[in-house]
Amino acid sequence: MPGEDIGEEPQPLEGGSSHHSPLPADDSGNRHPPLPAGISPTRGEIDKTETSAAADLPPCGGSEGRARPVARPGVRQGRGGGQGTNPDDKSVSPVLAVRGLETEFRIGRSVYHASNGVDLTIRPGECLGLVGESGSGKSVTAMSLMGLVPSPPGVIAGGRIGFKGEDLADAPDGRIRALRGGAVSHVFQDPLATLHPLFAVGDQVVEAIRAHQPLGRKAAAEKARDLLDLVRIPNAARRMKALPHELSGGLRQRVSIAIALANDPDLIIADEPTTALDVTVQAEVLRLLDELRRERRTAVLFITHDFGVVSEIADKVAVMYAGRIVETGKTAEILARPAHPYTRMLIDCVPVMGEPERRLDAVPGRPPAVNRLPPGCAFADRCPRVRPDCREGEIELEPKRGSLEARCLYPLGPGEALSGEADPREARP
């Protein structure tokens, strides 16, 4: 397994990562791409207005969707976000088919199993939400796909990363670089960390286009302006000259999405792309991503810790815990009646609009360190349903009911609460 081959470009794991090559650090220690020849730092116009062109858009979540009205959305149980793609349609070949991905960090004598036998499948136009607590391995899994895990100490120790039928785990560095920013693009949490601060945003979109397409500067500039239009940036022609700091957070994230779309990707990996945004802008950016992936049939791997966000955009969900997928299935089924106790507890962490009396449960305890995983179920120490045999042997991810697969010996039945009694939510009219 040539994991070392594809991890040669050390990158920060959070937000600051980009698909560019190794970058020089500025005075603040941030890494940015150098200014390309012929382009000087540009002074743009200061305009922080977030003209909400997205207010004209239809709501996301399909025809029955609504905009998210409040600070933290309620989970739309039983609704799900997917209307554009049928996750059952096995006749369509997956864009991404990851099997048994193992990414480790080898530090001293310790081996941290950050991604521990992960399977993911995403078809064209489909959005898979990868959910889990901090440190569960979401970003490492996503970074592994395009060789962005810092190496050393990161190593892809096993598995297959199938992208449109090609195994990227075995692909040479040049091939991975050609795909990165082209057929596969990223949107990160913090656009300020991924955009060059001294570079007009239009020029940055132009560079992204020209890195993968043989277009002259003028044609690329026209395409860049069209892309800024596409992501609903008002006055796109004028905003081309703006510097990143002259735009609001929402507009900056739209520029990042324009860059991600620049080369018609087959797959967008979005790692917490809305976490840094206020909720109104978050809703707009989610709506935009949702609409664009449906229009363009782009597969999306959407990483978040927030089940409220998942309910807005994902067709399918994979719940990650201590480096493993512990439950997966269609969004609507998972939200309505999850099988794994951890999923139930994560969903219960989300406030529900109109239910102020509802008790908000945090998941008690902490996940185990991934260099010292216990035998049996990694969730056992926090699980209210634990029994002695949960701590004994390997527990496989197995089909439970409907589309749900879970890694659990005593899954929740439909309508069953964590305590084993009937779930009081089921009794609601």
**Interface with ligand SF4 by CB under 6 A: which residues?**
340-341, 377, 379-380, 383, 385-386, 390, 395, 408-410
CA dihedral 364, 341, 119, 377 (to 10 degrees): 70
Cβ distance to ligand ATP smaller for residue 135 or 376? 135
Closest approach, Cβ 304 to ligand ATP, in A, equals: 8
- The site partner of 298 among Mg ion, ligand ATP, ligand SF4, none (C-beta below 5 to 8 Å per kind) is none
Quote the least distance from Cβ 383 to ligand SF4, whole Å.
Answer: 3
Q: How far is the CB of 397 from ligand SF4 (least distance, A)?
A: 11
Contacts of 109 (CB under 8 A, 6+ apart): none
Q: Which residues bind ligand ATP (CB under 6 A)?
A: 13, 105, 107, 112, 114, 132, 134-140, 150, 153, 305, 370
| Torsion 417-358-280-274 (CA) sign | negative
How far is CA 78 from each of CA 41, 141, 281, 311, 315, rounded to the nearest angstrom?
Answer: 50, 28, 25, 9, 12
Q: Which does 302 bind (CB under 5 to 8 A by kind): Mg ion, ligand ATP, ligand SF4, none?
A: none
> Which of these ranges, 131-139, 162-170, 277-285, 390-398, lies near Mg ion under the rule CB under 5 A?
131-139
Euclidean distance between CA atoms 94 and 170, whole angstroms:
18
Query: Nearer Cβ to ligand ATP, position 370 or 406?
Result: 370
How crowded is the C-beta side of 106, counted as CA atoms within 13 Å?
9
Q: Which does 419 bind (CB under 5 to 8 A by kind): Mg ion, ligand SF4, ligand ATP, none?
A: none
Over the range 143-155, which residues count as b (16 or more CB within 10 Å of their CB) and which as e?
A: bbbbbbbbbebbb
Spatial distance between the Cα atoms of 343 and 345, rounded to a whole number of angstroms: 5
Exactly one of 18, 139, 204, 304 binds Mg ion (CB under 5 A); which one?
139
Q: Which residue's entry shows tokens 């190794």?
A: 22
Contact 67, 283 (CB under 8 A): yes
Contact between 141 and Mg ion by CB under 5 A: the answer reads no
Specify the residue, 65 or 137, whose C-beta has the smaller distance to ligand ATP.
137
The nearer residue to ligand ATP, 10 or 376, going by C-beta atoms, is 10
Binding site for Mg ion (CB under 5 A): 139
